[in-house]
C-alpha cells in the first residue's frame, strides 16, 4: 500500500476506534467500511478492518454479524493473499462478501494516488 493510502487507512481506523469507545457503532462502521475499501487488497489491513467490524458486532450482540465477520476474516485474508477481492465491497455483513461495488471517488483518488481536483 502506498504511503498516502496507508495514511488514509490508518485515519479511518483511528476515527472508527474513537467512535467505538463512545459506543457510536453506526458511525464507527462507516469508517471501518471506508478502511475496508482502502485496505482490502492487502492482507493485514484487510484483516484489521474485519477484526474491528467483528468487535462492533460483539459489542452490539449481533450473532449473525459475528459469524459473518469471522468468515470474512479468514476468506478476506485468503482473497487478499491471492489477489482476488471484490473491489469496492465495504466488508459489512449487510451485503454479499462476493459483490463488487463502485468505489467512492474520494477513496479511488487515494487508492490511485492522484488528485481528481487537478486532473
User: Which three three-digit cell numbers place residue 4?
Assistant: 498516502
Place of cell 479468514: 74
Per-residue pLDDT of 16-73, as tens digits, reads: 999 999 999 999 999 999 999 999 999 999 999 999 999 999 999 999 999 999 999 9
Does residue 111 contact residue 38 with C-beta atoms inside 8 Å? yes
Give the per-residue pLDDT at 117: 47
* For the chain, the helix, strand and coil percentages under 3-state DSSP, each to the nearest 5: 70, 0, 30
Amino acid at each position: 500500500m502506498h504511503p498516502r493510502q496507508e495514511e488514509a487507512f490508518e485515519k479511518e481506523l483511528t476515527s472508527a476506534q474513537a467512535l467505538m469507545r463512545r459506543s457510536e457503532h453506526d458511525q464507527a462502521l462507516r469508517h471501518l467500511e471506508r478502511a475496508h475499501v482502502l485496505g482490502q487488497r492487502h492482507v493485514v489491513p484487510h484483516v484489521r478492518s474485519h477484526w474491528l467490524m467483528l468487535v462492533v458486532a460483539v459489542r452490539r450482540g449481533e450473532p449473525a454479524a459475528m459469524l459473518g465477520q469471522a468468515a470474512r476474516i479468514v476468506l478476506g485474508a485468503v482473497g487478499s493473499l491471492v489477489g482476488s477481492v471484490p473491489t469496492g465491497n465495504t466488508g459489512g455483513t449487510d451485503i454479499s462478501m462476493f459483490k463488487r461495488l463502485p468505489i467512492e471517488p474520494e477513496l479511488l483518488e487515494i487508492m490511485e494516488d492522484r488528485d481528481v481536483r487537478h486532473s
